[in-house]
């Protein structure tokens, strides 16, 4: 009888508590999805299974995929690809130097010696702090077949954080054939901060998968990737593959909190089809708020960029 009265009391109180419970449940749910509860290993396996290359895996190493089948982390060699050969070196790009590349002129730094990637990294780190505090974070990758008038982004709940960085420059320079590459000032420091916050870095390029060994070596030589970090290289998988599809694949496994690119189409391919790119006014709020226009991470050295002051006359 006493148990019956207790049950009746609880049922009677439910209407009074329902409003409070409804208010508290979402906050509690968000609070339980912290970094410790996110399955980073699963996210990594699924991204690699979709064709991304784990930069922590040495050339020719073999890993086991989700289906139990063996999968190669990086192709050991592809003799049919002509862009593999040639030594290269990485040089720091001095933003104050007259020999700085076009990118630093198009995308000026916010202050003397400042990195053009500083705001990009700061935004991602802010989202990491929000996740640590149990607050909600949002992806900056638009959903497939997005309604441009009411744009939505990919679902983010329960996924580890990551950023996308586009490697391709607008001039069509071929990184894998370059003998000398300029590295953007301050990018290494920005990436180190992201890695410290357990934010993965996914590098995107339209170079073929056959070039992965070469590009992986370049990223390593530039100090952009580390064996202890969950970083990935996502290249053209062949067939009808598109960079946009790779963005979606990345966003299905990771919460993409920031994207860096030198062209608006690096954020979504819809900009390739708009007659007036500025016409997508509903997306303007994304810029500097998840989408960051930055110079390419690496630029090929040219006669103009490497010329000495004495050589410019006559």
182-200 per-position pLDDT tens digit: 888 889 999 999 999 999 9
Phi, psi of 291, rounded to the nearest 5 degrees: -105, 125
Q: Which domain holds residue 22?
A: 2-32
Quote the pLDDT of residue 27: 26
Number of domains in the chain: 2
Say whether both 254 and 119 belong to one domain: yes
Say whether both 98 and 142 belong to one domain: yes
Residue 181 domain-assigned (yes or no): yes
User: Average pLDDT over the chain, rounded to whole?
Assistant: 74
Say whether both 26 and 51 belong to one domain: no
Say whether both 184 and 221 belong to one domain: yes
Asked whether the whole model's pTM tops 0.85, one would answer no
Per-residue CA distances from 270 to 141, 239, 244, 288 (Å): 12, 20, 9, 19
Residue 183 domain-assigned (yes or no): yes
Phi, psi of 66, rounded to the nearest 5 degrees: -65, -30
Neighbours of 293 (CB within 10 A): 18
Say whether both 50 and 9 belong to one domain: no
Dihedral sign for Cα 51, 56, 61, 64, please.
Answer: negative
* Cα–Cα dist 191/42, whole Å: 23
Say whether both 258 and 295 belong to one domain: yes
Residue 314 domain-assigned (yes or no): no
| SS3 state of residue 166 | strand
Supply the CATH number for residue 147's domain.
3.40.50
Say whether both 191 and 167 belong to one domain: yes
Say whether both 157 and 287 belong to one domain: yes
Say whether both 236 and 270 belong to one domain: yes
Residue 217, both tokens? 């070596």
Share of the chain above pLDDT 70, in %: 64
Quote the pLDDT of residue 131: 92
- Report angle CA 228, 233, 238 to the nearest 5 degrees: 150
HSE on the CB side for 102, CA within 13 Å? 11
Quote the pLDDT of residue 2: 46
pLDDT tens digits in sequence order for the chain, 314 residues long: 444 443 433 333 333 333 332 232 232 233 334 555 688 899 999 999 999 999 988 644 433 333 333 344 444 333 322 233 344 556 555 434 433 333 333 333 344 456 889 999 999 999 999 999 988 899 999 999 998 889 999 999 889 999 999 999 876 567 778 888 888 888 999 999 999 999 999 999 999 999 999 999 999 989 998 777 889 999 999 999 999 999 999 999 999 999 999 999 999 999 988 877 666 889 999 999 999 999 999 988 764 544 344 443 33
Give one word for 172, left, alpha or beta, with left for phi > 0 and alpha for psi -120 to 50: left
Say whether both 158 and 14 belong to one domain: no
Say whether both 9 and 48 belong to one domain: no
Say whether both 98 and 230 belong to one domain: yes
Quote the pLDDT of residue 277: 61
Quote the pLDDT of residue 75: 42
């Amino acid at each position: 009888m006493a148990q019956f009265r207790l049950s009746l009391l609880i049922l009677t109180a439910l209407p009074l508590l329902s409003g409070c419970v409804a208010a508290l449940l979402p906050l509690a749910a968000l609070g339980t999805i912290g970094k410790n509860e996110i399955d980073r290993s699963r996210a990594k396996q699924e991204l690699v299974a979709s064709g991304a290359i784990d930069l922590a895996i040495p050339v020719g190493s073999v890993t086991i995929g989700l289906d139990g089948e063996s999968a190669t982390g990086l192709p050991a060699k592809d003799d049919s690809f002509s862009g593999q050969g040639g030594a290269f070196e990485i040089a720091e790009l001095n933003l104050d130097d007259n020999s700085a590349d076009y990118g630093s002129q198009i995308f000026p730094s916010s202050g003397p010696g400042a990195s053009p990637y500083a705001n990009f990294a700061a935004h991602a780190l802010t989202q990491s702090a929000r996740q640590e505090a149990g607050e909600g974070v949002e992806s900056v990758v638009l959903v497939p077949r997005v309604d441009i008038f009411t744009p939505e982004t990919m679902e983010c709940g329960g996924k580890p954080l990551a950023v996308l960085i586009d490697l391709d420059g607008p001039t069509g320079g071929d990184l894998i054939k370059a003998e000398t590459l300029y590295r953007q000032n301050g990018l290494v420091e920005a990436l180190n901060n992201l890695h410290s916050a357990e934010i993965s870095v996914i590098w995107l390029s339209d170079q073929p998968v056959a070039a992965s060994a070469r590009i992986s070596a370049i990223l390593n030589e530039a100090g952009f990737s580390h064996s202890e970090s969950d970083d990935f290289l996502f290249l053209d998988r062949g067939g009808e593959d598109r960079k946009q599809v790779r963005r979606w694949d990345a966003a299905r496994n990771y919460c993409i909190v920031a994207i860096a690119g030198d062209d608006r189409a690096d954020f979504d391919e819809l900009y390739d089809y708009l007659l007036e790119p500025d016409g997508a006014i509903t997306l303007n709020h994304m810029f500097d708020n998840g989408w960051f226009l930055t110079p390419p991470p690496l630029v090929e050295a040219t006669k103009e960029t490497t010329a000495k002051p004495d050589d410019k006359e006559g």
